[in-house]
């Protein structure tokens, strides 16, 4: 395939016929249906979405596997070439490699860095040189048609030497190669060795082929790296610096200025995104009290998700938190620490929201004249009115776009969207599409714990990230199935953010698993996915649930919850140092910044999870082609026991020789061991339930 044009073997690659042909047959005109298969069929191209109305996507720096099925009739060999065009118009060509024998699947992995829409196609071709080498090896070794095979090879080399697209030095070598093939006086071993001559490598980049077929052109959107890679930390700014006044028991709320002090601790743990629940005025009507009760006291602050009061709605800041200038200062301080601020976008209103009187058409009025409040049976949210999109869709698009752009002007480029599955899909496609058309760096995270069809559709229409069911996947079998699904089956369009807990979710695993459960969950989230997150209090092992609910007692959604992180650290009751180690390991090892590269291995114990994250050196800046980055994670997912078992690795899968030995280093303890295909491990849930191992290559 030549330099910068669309050719295979120096000739223009023919396109597939698509028009209807009319021609005489048996004395009458016959109409032929268009032939779509092509001479060398190219089918089942990925990355692709379940619905072709939307395009797949990747994030900057992601290594994307491009695949296609390419085959032909008979026994002659075929090849496949990936042709990529970057958003700036630069063309790349990558020879695809064959997959498992008999599958006819071909693959080329490419790191995509440039932001924007890439165009790509696959060219299938008859591999004439490959076919000749295969046939010649068989026949010459058998003493059949020896001179004929050498002559066929010589003519192929001469034909390639005439192609103007090949460099002059290569054309000269090909002519010499043709002459050598015809040298009948040469030793038989010398001529036979020509079938492995390095000059044949020329045909990898520029194949020789008369028969070619191009697939249709496809697109893939590459978004900024934060759309796919990040470490999130959630906290309520009103709790940071909050204090109870002794005189009357009332509370002094934390502010953006007091919350700034927490940013230093978050940065020290290595988190690069801070997510804030709604920061807007909170309604008073039907305000909830502690633990979601209907009887609030005079000093209860209410749920931040009950948005709107006389002081404003979604474009306002709660007066207790400070001013817009205070918020901008908070954002600037975060940026100075390398942290982005993610803001909650919750499209709902308290009964006191200005929308209720200004736009009653945005809500559902019941036959008795009341406005319907939110419900998720058996949960009731009397303090929240859901928005009805059916009576003024355009008006809501305009208003929400205005709100989003308002916060963008304050420095926010990430929005965590609350319950997007309760709003029309078309609304999100329109909103995100309009925002990203002018500001492609803005990221939207879908907080949708719902049916797969809706979760997948939200990702397809534009959401860059998605909450997932990781929180409830705890056993080895559950985790293998879940992580395989999100890294392979849906990775072309859906990026999971592996939150370990939320204000609404405190799983039984964390309630009863003790510190080991927190350690294991954090480790798997931080190493198995490219994006993960924790909600404040996780590092303090907060595990007491409200009776009958899967959420923490004295839930911060309904009250202030100041925490003494420094004292917990001093008393040895904090996981903060370990979370910092996890994020440092993520920063040091680019293999952990990929989604699609996880691979699972067998262990003899059903409670010991084993997987690798492997990235080839050719995809890592500053690394040589053999300087790979490989992390092995071995986790005891039973937080109540000691497990001793043997783990079994597939060494070629991580570019190590089969049957060989190598050294690993535990990145938490610094211990080193010699490993091979089969390795004994002992994981004590009460001391060290997890190994995070670096594979050491070469002398260190």
What residues act catalytically? 418, 447
Residue environment code for 370-390, b if the CB has 16+ CB neighbours within 10 A, otherwise e: eeebbeeeeeebbbbbbbbbe
The pairing of beta strand 608-615 with beta strand 629-636: antiparallel
Give the number of other CB atoms < 10 A from CB of residue 512.
12
Q: Is the distance from CB of 280 to CB of 304 less than 8 angstroms? A: yes
- Measured CA to CA, the distance from residue 535 to residue 618 in angstroms comes to 36
Q: List C-alpha distances in Å: 505 to 232, 301, 304, 412, 698.
A: 16, 21, 17, 26, 45
Q: Is the distance from CB of 2 to CB of 166 less than 8 angstroms? A: yes
Q: List C-alpha distances in Å: 291 to 154, 248, 550, 569.
A: 83, 22, 12, 27
Q: How far is CA 62 from the centre of its chain?
A: 8
Q: Which of 580, 683, 687 is nearest to 634 (CA)?
A: 683
Q: Is the distance from CB of 241 to CB of 258 less than 8 angstroms? A: yes
Q: How far is CA 126 from the centre of its chain?
A: 35
419 is in an annotated binding site: yes
Residue 463: which H helix or E strand, with range?
none
- Measured CA to CA, the distance from residue 101 to residue 81 in angstroms comes to 18
DSSP of 173-219: HHHHHHHHHT-TTS-HHHHHHGGG-GGGGHHHHS---S-EEEPPPEE
How many residues does this entry show for the chain?
A: 700
Helices (H) and strands (E) in the chain, counts: 15, 37
476 is in an annotated binding site: no
57 is in an annotated binding site: no
Place of tokens 């390398």: 338
- Residue 491: both structure tokens together: 């990775």
- Strand-pair partners of 418: 447
E strand residue ranges, 537-616 = 598-600, 602-603, 608-615
The pairing of beta strand 443-447 with beta strand 465-466: parallel
288 is in an annotated binding site: yes
Give the number of other CB atoms < 10 A from CB of residue 395.
13
383 is in an annotated binding site: yes
DSSP of 26-47: TTEEEEEPPP-STTTTEEEEES
- Measured CA to CA, the distance from residue 64 to residue 66 in angstroms comes to 6
User: In degrees, to the nearest 5, what angle opens at C-alpha 325 toward C-alphas 319 and 328?
Assistant: 110
Q: Which of 14, 12, 10 is nearest to 171 (CA)?
A: 10
Using a 10 angstrom Cβ sphere, with 0-12 exposed, 13-18 middle and 19 or more buried, the burial of residue 321 is buried
Give the number of other CB atoms < 10 A from CB of residue 69.
18
Give the number of other CB atoms < 10 A from CB of residue 184.
9
- Residue 118: both structure tokens together: 């890439």
- Strand-pair partners of 600: 611
The pairing of beta strand 28-32 with beta strand 21-25: antiparallel
- Measured CA to CA, the distance from residue 420 to residue 512 in angstroms comes to 31
Q: List C-alpha distances in Å: 229 to 443, 523, 529.
A: 11, 16, 9
558 is in an annotated binding site: yes
Residue 274: which H helix or E strand, with range?
strand 273-276
Q: Binding site residues for alpha-maltose 1-phosphate, as ranges?
A: 288, 348, 383, 419, 557-558
Q: Which residues are annotated as a binding site?
A: 288, 348, 383, 419, 557-558
């Amino acid at each position: 395939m030549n330099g910068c044009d669309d050719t295979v073997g120096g000739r223009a690659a023919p396109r597939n016929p698509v028009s209807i042909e009319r021609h005489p047959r048996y004395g009458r005109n016959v109409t032929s249906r268009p032939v779509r298969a092509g001479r060398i069929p190219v089918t089942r191209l990925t990355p692709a979405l379940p619905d072709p109305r939307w395009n797949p996507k990747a994030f900057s720096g992601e290594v994307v596997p491009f695949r296609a099925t390419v085959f032909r009739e008979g026994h002659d060999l075929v090849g496949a070439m990936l042709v990529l065009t970057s958003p700036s118009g630069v063309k790349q060509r990558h020879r695809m490699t064959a997959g498992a024998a008999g599958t006819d699947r071909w693959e080329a992995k490419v790191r995509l860095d440039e932001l924007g829409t890439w165009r790509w196609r696959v060219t299938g071709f008859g591999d004439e040189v490959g076919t000749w080498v295969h046939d010649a090896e068989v026949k010459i070794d058998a003493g059949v048609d020896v001179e004929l095979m050498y002559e066929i090879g010589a003519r192929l080399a001469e034909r390639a030497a005439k192609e103007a697209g090949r460099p002059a030095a290569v054309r000269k070598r090909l002519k010499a190669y043709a002459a050598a093939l015809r040298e009948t006086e040469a030793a038989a071993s010398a001529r036979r060795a020509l079938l492995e001559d390095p000059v044949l490598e020329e045909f990898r980049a520029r194949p020789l082929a008369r028969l070619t077929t191009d697939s249709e052109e496809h697109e893939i959107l590459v978004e900024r790296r934060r759309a796919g890679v990040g470490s999130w930390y959630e906290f309520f700014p009103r709790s940071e610096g909050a204090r109870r006044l002794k005189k009357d028991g009332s509370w002094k709320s934390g502010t953006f200025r007091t919350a700034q002090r927490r940013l230093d601790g978050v940065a020290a743990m290595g988190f690069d995104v801070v997510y804030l629940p709604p920061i807007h005025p909170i309604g008073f009507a039907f305000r909830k009290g502690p633990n979601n009760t209907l009887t609030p006291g005079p000093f209860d602050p209410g749920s931040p998700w009950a948005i709107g009061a006389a002081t404003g709605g979604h474009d306002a800041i709660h007066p207790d938190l400070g001013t817009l200038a205070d918020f901008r200062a908070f954002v600037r301080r975060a940026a100075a620490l390398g942290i982005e601020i993610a803001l909650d976008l919750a499209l709902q209103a308290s009964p006191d929201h200005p929308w209720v009187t200004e736009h009653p058409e945005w809500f559902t009025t019941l036959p008795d004249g009341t406005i319907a409040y939110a419900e998720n049976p058996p949960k009731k949210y009397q303090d929240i009115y859901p928005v009805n999109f059916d009576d003024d869709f355009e008006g809501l698009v305009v208003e929400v776009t205005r709100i989003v752009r308002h916060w963008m002007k304050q420095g926010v480029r990430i929005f965590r969207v609350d319950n997007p599955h309760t709003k029309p899909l078309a609304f999100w496609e329109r909103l995100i599409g309009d925002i990203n058309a002018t500001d492609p760096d803005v990221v939207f995270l879908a907080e949708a714990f719902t049916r797969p069809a809706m979760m997948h559709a939200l990702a397809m229409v534009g959401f860059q990230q998605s909450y997932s069911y990781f929180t409830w996947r705890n056993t080895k079998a559950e985790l293998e199935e879940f992580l395989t699904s999100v890294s392979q089956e849906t990775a072309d369009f859906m990026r999971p953010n592996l939150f370990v807990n939320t204000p609404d979710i405190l799983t039984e695993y964390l309630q009863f698993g003790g510190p080991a459960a927190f350690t294991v969950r954090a480790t798997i989230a931080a190493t198995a996915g490219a994006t993960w997150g924790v909600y404040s209090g996780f590092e303090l092992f907060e595990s007491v649930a409200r009776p009958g609910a899967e959420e923490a007692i004295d839930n911060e959604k309904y009250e202030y919850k100041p925490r003494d992180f420094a004292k917990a650290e001093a008393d040895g009751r904090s996981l903060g140092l370990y979370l910092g180690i996890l994020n440092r390991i993520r920063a040091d090892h680019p293999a952990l910044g990929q989604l699609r590269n996880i691979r699972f291995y067998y262990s003899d114990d059903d409670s010991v999870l084993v997987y690798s994250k492997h990235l080839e050196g050719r995809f890592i800046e500053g690394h040589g082609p053999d300087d790979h980055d490989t992390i092995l994670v071995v986790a005891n997912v039973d937080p109540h026991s000691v497990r001793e078992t043997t783990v079994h690795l597939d060494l070629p899968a991580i570019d190590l020789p089969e049957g060989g030995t190598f050294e690993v280093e535990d990145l938490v303890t610094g211990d080193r061991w010699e490993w091979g295909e089969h390795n004994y491990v002992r994981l004590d849930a009460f001391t060290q339930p997890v190994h995070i191992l670096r594979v050491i290559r070469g002398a260190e």
